[in-house]
Structure 1
Amino acid sequence: MELGGFEVLSNVKDDDAIIYAYGSLVPDSSRFAPPELARSGWDAIKKSPHSAVDSYNFGIPPTMHASYKRLVNANPKARITVGAFLEQGRRSGGFFDSPLIKLTEGIDNLDVKSEEERAEILDDLDQLTDDFPEDFFKMKVLPELLKSVEFGGGGPKAFGVVMKIATKLTNDDFEARVQPVVIRLFSNPDRAIRVCLLDNLPLMIDRLPQKVVNDKIFPNMVSGFTDVAPVVREQTLKSVLVIIHKLSDRVINGELLKYLAKMANDEQPGIRTNTTICLGKIAKNLGTSTRAKVLIAAFTRSLRDPFVHARNAALMALAATGEYFTEEDCATRILPVVCPSLIDKEKLVREQANKTVDIYLQRIRKAAASMPRQRTPQPQDKAR
């Protein structure tokens, strides 16, 4: 129940009470005002019992009056049937033609509706924000939507509405109501559902425990790396950045790197490029013992990619991850493979190569400046 209108709260014994002058300014006051107020304004309260306004609001809606009288007609032959009463109420503009009733009935029968009808209901739901109480969505709408997504063909559209409702759930409610379905959906073979899950992962990830992501979601998610549909592979790759902080070191440096190595050779040039970008962004999460080896191998391969943006991505990634390489790596393993890019056929690559080379040269020069002018004489030098 919601309360409002306290800004005109008054003592009705006061002849100058503000409700008489300002009661009509309360939002929706005219919508539920009894006839005497509609005719004469709120000053009419003075001439009636103080309970009269409340009594009117507790009564039958005016739109139902005529049908109600026919329902309780003293002449049994003139009484309408309950079915006719309901039919009158459901007509356009009828007393049962309200968003809440339409939504409640639509949700109850969502699974048996046609695809067009289901889409219309989901559109209505998608547009509703604060029109109805949160508990109505949580207890009534959410269970039906989850059932529709998982079993009734509700698809990505229904899941999108689920995510909107889920933003208002407490962590406990999310864990109890939404999380189990999300876990099961990640094993769903429907590509549209899988892409929808990956799209919405940023909205869910902070609600999902690390153990759930690492042990239950990621093992089902990895099939997307090898899916025949490029859009699934692409979206799975993008999701790595979302879930990386919820994966264990063992999973990151084992299974994940194995799949990323395959993605680096994908037939789609955009996916190869994004794999390089992804590796550059997750460099800090890789194991320190193998990080330099993994990154140098991956970026070196990308520098030879026929796709211009893949080569450019490799140069940018090298520029961003220089801190993870030793000065010796910079001088002997990285600069020699970057230098050919200085005369790449594409200006975009040449310009980035110059920036990357400058970064590594500065690093090497700084290291060289701190080295001794001459190496320490060795015993064999004296024998010569």
Structure 2
Amino acid sequence: MAAIDFPAQIKDLRGTFASIEQVSDVEGLQATVAALSEEAAAPNLWDDPEAAQKVTSRLSHKQSELDRLGRLRSRLEDLETMVELAQEEDDPDLLGEAGEELESVRKALAELEIVTLLSGEYDAREAVVTIRSGAGGVDAADFAEMLMRMYLRWAEKNGYPTKVLDTSYAEEAGLKSATFEVKAPYSFGRLSVEAGTHRLVRISPFDNQGRRQTSFAAVEVIPLIEQTDSVEIPENEIKVDVFRSSGPGGQSVNTTDSAVRMTHIPTGIVVSMQNEKSQIQNRAAALRVLQSRLLLQRQEEENAKKKELAGDVKASWGDQMRSYVLHPYQMVKDLRTHHEEGNTSSVLDGGIDALIDSGIRWRAGQRNDAA
């Protein structure tokens, strides 16, 4: 095994860490933590539980960012000390430990660097994800359900709370569509690179002749609306229909007309909600998602206008962004980043961090090229 050039490697890591600190704005983080800590200490904080939850959640997230930077700074310093001690005492075992720690710190820096690339206007928001089955019949509906499970498992593995807002089941199997929230900071920034058309190639379990089937599903990711966004929707622009919630195969899960379908008349955007207990709750959830979609649409229109003025007519996203091939070989490939994963079972069980990270790096490169 070739000897590790520790001074050069550590210098490289320190350079990466310095860049991360600069982008992270440590002084700004410290000021934000101090201000939020003062808010959290207010005796009347929990008079408004929803506002209090937002303050404590944001404080926890910002404090975690600071702590993470502090831990990495300490690990870099400890690594230098370990290398110096090992070289002074000519201790190969300690040098081996230093090599392992070097790789561990490198990995931690790479993960932290991803967070610094989430600099879009809404990247720090929570996410609302909608999955719709596309071409491919019952296989497409089944694929939509597989994707929903994949994202929910990904959130579970990362400790991100989720809330299913709406599920529309297909007649034979799978889902026509589903909408859920991922309630964690930066979940929109991370999951927004998953938006687009996903393709599945496999031997269809629904074909009695065992033929290969290609099916499609669409993933939409929008940032969760906040009260400060001020997306006002006049009442005369909204059509609201109520209906009875239903489960798989049409089985009734509610004996009252509590489900809500909300249509934004000017744009034709339709949002359905049925997983809350009351019509009022479903209406509030539908309005929140509708506002989020209009907010994202407004941002996309602004970006399109900027590109038009700049003479850039390239599409940011292709119609098909990822393929999941289960036959005749096993591979998941992102068609934008060319990142490949051979363990398809792991990917479909939520192991998509590497795919998401490569997508974030790709997007950052696209933004830099367009700047």
State the TM bucket, normalised to the shorter chain: under 0.3
- Structure with a larger share of its residues in helix: 1
- Structure with a larger share of its residues in strand: 2
Q: TM-score if structure 2 supplies the norm length?
A: 0.21
More contact order relative to length (CA 8 Å, sep ≥ 6): 2
